[in-house]
Amino acid sequence: MADAKPTDETEAPAEAAPKQPKSKKSTIVAAFAVLAGVGAGIFGIAPLVAGKGTKAASADSNARHDSAGEHGAKAAIEPQMLENLVLNPAGTRGSRFLLLTVGVQLVDQVAKEELAKREGEARDRVLEVFATKTVDELVDVSRRPAFRAEIANVIDSLLGHGKVRGVFFPQFVVQ
């Protein structure tokens, strides 16, 4: 009987040792799976979902402009999007912000490519325009046509006059 106990005691640690590495492996595999899922969501699925919303907004805008009697060729050139512009409106001391996406419809593909090359400058100029506006001005929807005209002038001055056909705001959030 005394011989049986030491055998049981020596077998128990031997059985526990293999279980411990399996537990670590399971934890590592689970952590890897979670990280892979998060990475796929952030870098794979989110851009696809975000892209569909932007394309739908620009297609809707094109349809509205075309039905208003503007040139049919306009729909052939996809607008250049200046996305996720964030700034603090005038007089808010950082307590409020504007989140904005600007769509710029251009006369031709050459102008679109030029704007794409100079996107940093265009973003800066758009931010300068809106940084001078107060929250009261920004939330007044009746001022949007004036904002569009101001942005068109700023972008035209960057690219050369007569290059901008239209400006629209698919995202305009004041918080």
Q: Dihedrals φ, ψ of 7, to 5°?
A: -65, -45
pLDDT for 105 equals 95
When comparing pLDDT for 64 and 114, which is higher?
114
pLDDT tens digits along 60-104: 444 444 434 444 444 558 999 999 999 999 999 989 999 999 999
Indicate whether 97 and 169 sit together in one domain: yes
pLDDT for 3 equals 52
Its sign, for the CA torsion 52, 53, 54, 58, is: positive
Domain span at 146 = 77-174
pLDDT for 63 equals 42
For residue 144, what is the domain's CATH number?
3.30.479.30
Indicate whether 98 and 159 sit together in one domain: yes
CA distance 42 to 28: 21
Indicate whether 68 and 83 sit together in one domain: no
